[in-house]
Amino acid sequence: MATIRLGDIAPDFKAETTQGTIQFHEWLGDSWGVLFSHPSDFTPVCTTELGTVANYFSEFQKRNVKVIALSVDGLESHHNWIKDIEETQNVTLQYPIIADENKEVANLYDMIHPNANDTFTVRSVFIIGADKKVKLILTYPASTGRNFDELLRVIDSLQLTANYSVATPANWKDGDDVVISPSIKDEDIPAKFPKGFNRIKYYLRLTPQPNK
């Protein structure tokens, strides 16, 4: 079982989901993707997480991001769990949950960590670009709910920095100033960043977000 690293092509797979059979890369199409796993169905923290993603579904759509969840339970269990999620979180679940009973996808994405739990998947998140490459990997313990505001913030940063020679500083949010790549010379900045820039150090130069 190979470890997945940033920049790797996200492994493709065929799987049964609550919205039918998918071929992962084909399902993604030209979209970005968020694949996030859950230890099992009917778990309290994950119930709140799937509800939160349903509430944020339009925000993912705005960013051309498809979301898909995974658990090692079966389709019947998933459909029953969805009823609970929709009832307790006051949402409608618009995205698929993969039924990974044989743990094929979990093993493909190295989601089973024996020292944490040798039976269930850990709670992993993979952000995948439109080029099918892995852009971010996060793994959470079972006791800590994921922060989906942070995932949207990271997607905003990834999509911005993919298109411009910039990076985003600590605690950056969409609309804040960004860091100009060190590879850009001072004299070349006006042509690339006509909004101006603030030269704090030769290696630290800030400019307004270029796509705003």
**Residue positions annotated with a catalytic role:** 46
Q: What is the mean pLDDT of the chain?
A: 92
pLDDT digit string, tens, across residues 59-99: 999 999 999 999 989 999 999 999 999 999 999 999 999 99
For the chain, the structural domain boundaries read 14-146, 164-207
For residue 118, is pLDDT > 50?
A: no
Using a CB cutoff of 8 Å and minimum separation of 24, what contacts does 187-196 make?
192/165
Identify the three-state secondary structure at position 91.
coil
Q: Can you list the positions of beta strands (E) in 112-183?
A: 123-128, 134-140, 166-167, 178-180
Q: Are 22 and 45 in contact (CB under 8 A)?
A: no
Q: Are 107 and 101 in contact (CB under 8 A)?
A: no
pLDDT digit string, tens, across residues 142-193: 788 999 999 999 999 999 999 999 999 999 999 999 999 999 999 999 999 9
As a whole number, mean pLDDT of residues 114-135 equals: 78
Residue 23's DSSP bridge partners are: 14
Residue with tokens 């892995």: 134
**Superfamily holding 164-207:** Antioxidant, Horf6; Chain A, domain2 (3.30.1020.10)
As a whole number, mean pLDDT of residues 35-53 equals: 92
Alpha helices (H) in 13-147, listed in sequence order: 24-28, 44-55, 57-62, 75-89, 104-108
Is the pTM higher than 0.85? yes
In angstroms, rounded to a whole number, what is the distance separating the alpha carbons of residues 2 and 64?
A: 29
pLDDT at residue 28, rounded to an integer: 98
Fold that domain 14-146 belongs to in CATH: Glutaredoxin (3.40.30)
User: Which phi and psi angles does 89 have, rounded to 5°?
Assistant: -105, 0
Check residues 8 and 119 and name the one with the higher pLDDT: 8
Residue 39 pLDDT class (50, 70, 90 cuts)? confident
Using DSSP bridges, classify how beta strands 65-71 and 32-38 pair: parallel, antiparallel or unpaired.
parallel
Q: Nearest-5° angle of CA 37, CA 173, CA 183?
A: 100
As a whole number, mean pLDDT of residues 107-117 equals: 71
pLDDT digit string, tens, across residues 15-27: 999 999 999 999 9
